[in-house]
Amino acid sequence: MYAPGEAATRIKEKARELGFLACGIAKADFLTEDAPRLEQWLRDGKNAQMGYMANHFDMRLDPRKLMPGAKSVISLAYNYFTAPKQLDPEAPKLSTYAYGRDYHKVVKQRMKPLMDFIKENCGDVDMRAFTDSAPVLEKAWAQKAGIGWRGKHTNVIRQGNGSFFFLCEIILDLELAPDAPATDHCGTCRRCIDACPTDAITPYGVDGSKCISYFTIELKDAIPTGAGDFKNWAFGCDICQQVCPWNRFSKPHNEPDFDPKPELMQLTSDEWHGMTEILFEELFQGSPVKRTKCEGLKRNLRYLRDEVHHRGTEGTEEI
């Protein structure tokens, strides 16, 4: 058995060897600073129709309630930054994280060898792995474990890497030496706040009821008329990440499962707006986009077209 410091070092080395962008460790404690923040966010209704965010409140704040006996939280980052872009500049846009195969499955597969390594080298360890799949405040643990800080757009930013990465965690009953929390390096920058076309971002907060990603992914009803200018985003939105100065350090991922299908990147605007069930299944098999289903994506596309038409007639007078 390794001492907590040696075990932590070996786990981080193995994580890097397995292709993770970063690995940090925090003590499995109650998230004191996040409790009032989450409570206020829910009270203000900023979770909109994301009712699940109000579930398991205590579990979100204390990993020991999610896994009794937990002593440490291993936080991991997995790069998804993709260099290729959609070829048609007029085509409706897809968030970069959705270019390839569903990250839930991919990242969880990459975590298994690390968990096997821990069991082989640290004895009989009880642990659970999570990838955006349970009531875990991933961003809070990433900051606490030194992975990066929560930027003003609330995404986690890492110096030298930017923010285009997925977060995942291993909660375990093994005592490991914790890392120092990440410090904030946003300074006076407010590019993400100023660039958001629906005014969803306030410093260190996002109003889900105004966010383009919420409207195009989470919302199950019709998108309200006048929800705002979505800037041609049909699924998700990367604006706040695209304008962040730290993302000039982003480097392309090395994960084949995140490579986009060439036919997806070549899709023209007309082909997007003529989306059929057959084309949807061909392009998005195994993709996060399947979450909206074909009808949900077509709803988003209709909103984009109607919004463009509305803006084009704004200010005209009836003759």
By residue range, what is the domain housing residue 78? Answer: 4-82+102-172
Both 155 and 212 in one domain: the answer is no
Is 0.85 surpassed by the pTM of this model? yes
Residue 2's pLDDT is: 79
Residues with catalytic roles: 132
Both 223 and 134 in one domain: the answer is no
Both 23 and 69 in one domain: the answer is yes
Residue 314's pLDDT is: 57
pLDDT score of 309 more than 80? no
Amino acid at 166: F
pLDDT score of 232 more than 80? yes
Both 106 and 153 in one domain: the answer is yes
The answer to whether residue 185 sits within a structural domain is: no
Per-residue pLDDT, averaged over 119-124, amounts to 93
Both 162 and 31 in one domain: the answer is yes
Both 20 and 145 in one domain: the answer is yes
pLDDT score of 4 more than 90? no
Average of per-residue pLDDT values in the chain: 94
Residue whose pair of structure tokens reads 């929560």 in the numeric block:
150
Q: Band of the pLDDT at 317, cuts 50, 70, 90?
A: very low
Both 153 and 9 in one domain: the answer is yes
Q: Band of the pLDDT at 318, cuts 50, 70, 90?
A: very low
Both 19 and 161 in one domain: the answer is yes
pLDDT score of 193 more than 60? yes
Asked if 99 and 82 count as a contact pair (C-beta separation under 8 A), the reply is yes
The answer to whether residue 226 sits within a structural domain is: yes
Q: Which of 45-49, 72-76, 112-116 has the lowest mean pLDDT?
A: 45-49
Residue that terminates a domain, selected from 137, 172, 207? 172
pLDDT in tens, 73-108: 999 999 999 988 999 999 999 999 999 999 999 999
Residue that terminates a domain, selected from 172, 204, 221? 172
Q: Band of the pLDDT at 52, cuts 50, 70, 90?
A: confident
Per-residue pLDDT, averaged over 207-230, amounts to 96
Both 147 and 11 in one domain: the answer is yes
Specify the higher pLDDT residue, 31 or 55: 31
The answer to whether residue 107 sits within a structural domain is: yes
The answer to whether residue 50 sits within a structural domain is: yes
What total number of domains does the chain contain?
Answer: 2
Both 211 and 161 in one domain: the answer is no
